[in-house]
Amino acid sequence: MARRRHIATGCRTCSGRGYMISTENDQYARAQLCGCVSECADCGGSGTVFLENERGYRYLERCGTCGVVRLKVRRYNNAKIPSKFAGVLQSDDIDPRGQSQLDAMTYVKSFVDKYPEEKGFLLMGGPGLAKTRLAVGAIAELTLQKAVECVFTDFFFLLGDLREAYSAGIPENEIIGPLINAEILVIDEMGKGRSSEWEQNILDQLISKRYNSSKKTLVTTNYVARDSLPKKSRNNTEVLEDRVGERIASRLYEMCAPLFIEGSDYRKGD
């Protein structure tokens, strides 16, 4: 049986993590295996080893030394994390501005630490309040710490990908299927767009199928829930229910912990 060892904790290149994060791709952040993993002596760098059971049968298994690190790197790279947020690997890297943002950060951190016990979350509030950073921080941690399968998608860009797929004769399910099946899906900028019937149908597919299969979903939006507004403001303010429809909003509120964030725009500085 293969000898079980650990990744070299004293590696100066990766600080014992077994990987480094690169943003050279521009669009997506990439995790790269460190040499202390890729040159693993137990598996020869293949990531798998042959073991033998008590009956003498040999079988292939993930390398006990580097296999888990390889899986974490693969899960991180498949998550399509935007390069801009590559360094946000801890949800507490953000300096909170106000109690609502601190509450949101606390929930996000709890979601990661207790996964899969907590519900997903719905981050609502104006632009520049670090909603995307929090959501991406959650899946970065989950992929690299726990090897959870996660996928990030910007809803507006998803619609563009679907239009391109239609033009190329690619079935819609090839684009939407991986999002429906992912263990955790981040939908960024929900409600952005024209809110056409087609857009509503796409969103309904995503939410309804994930709802029915009890999949964890993390959502960010610049729109707020109707109930979060004072009654006198509800008739003249566009809310999430107006953008995605009552049915989708109702399912979101059941699937996710609604977290309303207030504060000043980070992008504008202090």
Q: Is residue 57 domain-resident?
A: yes
Q: What is the DSSP string of the chain?
A: -PPP----TT-TTTTTSSEEEE-TTSSB-EEEE-HHHHT-TTTTTSSEEEEE-TTS-EEEEE-TTTHHHHHHHHHHHHTT-BGGGTT--SGGGS---SHHHHHHHHHHHHHHHHTTSS-EEEEE-STTSSHHHHHHHHHHHHHHHH---EEEEEHHHHHHHHHHHHHHT--HHHHHHHHHH-SEEEEESTT-S---HHHHHHHHHHHHHHHHTT-EEEEEES---GGGS-GGGTTSS--HHHHH-HHHHHHHHHHEEEEE--S--GGG--
> What pLDDT, on the 0 to 100 scale, is given for residue 270?
57
Residue 69 sits at the vertex; the CA angle it makes with 66 and 72, to the nearest 5 degrees, is: 150
Q: Is residue 240 domain-resident?
A: yes
pLDDT in tens, the chain (270 residues): 334 445 556 688 998 899 999 987 679 999 999 988 888 888 888 889 888 888 888 888 889 889 999 999 999 999 999 998 887 655 456 778 789 999 999 999 999 999 999 999 999 999 999 999 999 999 999 999 999 999 999 999 999 999 999 999 999 999 999 999 999 999 999 999 888 999 999 999 999 999 999 999 999 999 999 998 888 878 888 999 999 999 999 999 999 999 999 987 776 765
Which range of residues forms the domain containing residue 46?
19-78
> What pLDDT, on the 0 to 100 scale, is given for residue 1?
37
Query: For the chain, first and last CA: distance in Å?
Result: 59
Do residues 71 and 90 share a domain? no
**Residue of 236, 262, 232, 217 lying closest to 120 (CA atoms):** 217
> What pLDDT, on the 0 to 100 scale, is given for residue 238?
93
Q: Which one of 62, 78, 94 terminates a domain? A: 78
Helices 67-78/131-146 angle, 10° precision? 150
Do residues 62 and 91 share a domain? no
User: Going by C-beta distance under 8 Å and a sequence separation of 6 or more, which residues neighbour residue 207?
Assistant: 217, 248, 251, 252, 255
> What pLDDT, on the 0 to 100 scale, is given for residue 68?
93
Q: Is residue 12 domain-resident?
A: no
Q: Is residue 237 domain-resident?
A: yes
**Residue of 50, 36, 39, 35 lying closest to 7 (CA atoms):** 36
CATH number at residue 209: 3.40.50.300
Q: Is residue 109 domain-resident?
A: yes
Q: Which one of 29, 48, 78 terminates a domain? A: 78
Do residues 32 and 149 share a domain? no
Give CA–CA dist 183/206, Å, rounded.
13
Do residues 161 and 117 share a domain? yes
Do residues 195 and 135 share a domain? yes
Q: Is residue 95 domain-resident?
A: yes
- Count of other CB atoms within 10 angstroms of residue 62: 14
Do residues 139 and 163 share a domain? yes
> What pLDDT, on the 0 to 100 scale, is given for residue 194?
86
Do residues 191 and 74 share a domain? no
Do residues 166 and 35 share a domain? no
Do residues 185 and 62 share a domain? no
Do residues 154 and 249 share a domain? yes
How many structural domains are present in the chain?
A: 2
Q: What is the DSSP string of 145-202?
A: HH---EEEEEHHHHHHHHHHHHHHT--HHHHHHHHHH-SEEEEESTT-S---HHHHHH
Q: Which one of 78, 102, 122 terminates a domain? A: 78
Do residues 185 and 112 share a domain? yes
> What pLDDT, on the 0 to 100 scale, is given for residue 89?
55
> What pLDDT, on the 0 to 100 scale, is given for residue 230?
83
Do residues 103 and 146 share a domain? yes
pTM comes to 0.90
Q: Is residue 93 domain-resident?
A: yes
Residue with tokens 């598996």: 43
Q: Is residue 5 domain-resident?
A: no
- Count of other CB atoms within 10 angstroms of residue 93: 13
